Structure 1
């Protein structure tokens, strides 16, 4: 019986494995990845690597074992709902003990397009009859701080108005996943996970200005203009519309709901966006 992390070489998956290795021996952790070479650093740490792609049902059938605890990290591809259903089916067939899923803040109440596949995946897990834990992740600090070089050159762009964002670091969400995967009492639970403090994009731009010493402004655009900017930056139109939809949700306050679940799970305050700005500038 192992703790199995899917998409284990992605940004979140790598951190989850790292958090798990701080809590349990490496021989209890399994990393499911598409690429053996990319997963080699995990294997070097003593983690078993199983090669499987969300689109490969034969490989998924070998990715899980009876009694495993599985973390399904949501996919990014356009057919991700079908992929998630394939993972759930393979996990059920294998007889796993529990499946945890990285969902969207708000669960079934989230009415923005980015949450649609997450809501359907939660329902697929409920329909499977598997014991479950839903990790409804809010926005990551890194969604913004990864763009700091562009922001320093062109300003912060969005269509969220004065909406507030209760974000946290990706590492915070990874730590919560590790706690849930290794602890007791998390079955049939849905955790609403986000940061302890919230902020607006105007406040974010001011913080970036203060720390960088360069004047950075927040440019609040119409949704149509925001989508055009994102497409011009190279995002496919459907992806651009998803991000515009998230900004609409931010403006309506849907990403500012602070439940406290995240800090309670990890046993410490969540990482403020100011700290994430400082780390990104240092890097």
Structure 2
């Protein structure tokens, strides 16, 4: 019977967590990959990982997906407005199945931030606390990939647009967060634990400088108000709601809500987080 289960196991984070578990010596027979589409997990099955089909939106599928598991990594859902109900269903199933610990991927400073993504994470943390299950909360800052995935656009336009007001963001790569999740899942904890996770903080000016240095293409940062950013994003095709949402995320950075001095990430993974320039080089290929 598997010891560990990972939800969203064919997603970009979940797959990396399972690869990390395998790479650090966890036998494949001790890992269950909980997925919506089993066909997408064929490569994991070929490595000996047990594949369990479940859907956050179908609570009846969840008890069987976590049955017999000692520790569960609950990777947050990707549908805003539905996450609390989805996560609650998983937590209820975990309690019913006798899971010994739930590890949950939350957001940095979930209990204090104004970040528009935070309320559902804060609510999920409350559900965990009320469940009586031992838990570990991984409060992740931004993925570096939020920026490196936009390299083609940066290089084409020569600019990084933002409304961060010089604020810093403690981004780390998805692989760094996956390594932290694998470490948290396999380590023995006394009681509950909350980790504030983030890499070395940088400003958007420093991001532009790093992109320029790595690519030898001049890219500048153009900072503006959140209102102006939302208006600009609408001119390039975003609807008003999405543009306002993106601007609100940048405003959260301006308030310092996605920056942390915590060394929890480096302590969990046993090394410094991936440097920004290295992440840009990797994305550049």
**Alignment match, 1:190:** 194
**Alignment match, 1:255:** 258
**Alignment match, 2:213:** 210
Secondary structure (helix, strand or coil) at the match of 1:62 reads helix
**Alignment match, 1:110:** 113
Q: How does 1:146-225 map to 2 (within 5 A)?
A: 146-154=149-157, 155-185=159-189, 187-195=191-199, 197-225=200-228
Q: For the aligned residues, what is the CA RMSD?
A: 1.6
Q: Distance in 1 between matches of 2:191 and 2:42?
A: 32
Instruction: Rate the CA distance shift 1:133–1:254 in 2: closer, same or farther, 3 A.
Output: same
Tell me the TM-score normalized by structure 1: 0.94
Cα shift readout 1:217-264 (whole Å, capped 9, x = no counterpart): 112132123234445666565444333222112111122222000001
**Alignment match, 2:148:** 145
Secondary structure (helix, strand or coil) at the match of 2:65 reads coil
**Alignment match, 1:17:** 18
Asked whether the equivalents of residues 5 and 69 of structure 2 are also in contact (C-alpha less than 8 Å), the reply is no
Gaps of 5+ in 2: none
For structure 1, which segment, 79-88 or 129-138, has the greater mean C-alpha deviation from structure 2 after superposition?
79-88
**Alignment match, 2:63:** 61
Cα shift readout 1:95-147 (whole Å, capped 9, x = no counterpart): 11110100011131222211111000000111111110000111111110011
Gaps of 5+ in 1: none
Q: Distance in 2 between matches of 1:159 and 1:44?
A: 46
Q: 1:93 Cα deviation (Å)? A: 1.4
Q: How does 1:14-163 map to 2 (within 5 A)?
A: 14-23=15-24, 24-78=26-80, 79-154=82-157, 155-163=159-167
Asked whether the equivalents of residues 115 and 257 of structure 2 are also in contact (C-alpha less than 8 Å), the reply is no
Q: 1:38 Cα deviation (Å)? A: 1.0
Asked whether the equivalents of residues 136 and 192 of structure 2 are also in contact (C-alpha less than 8 Å), the reply is yes
Tell me the TM-score normalized by structure 2: 0.93
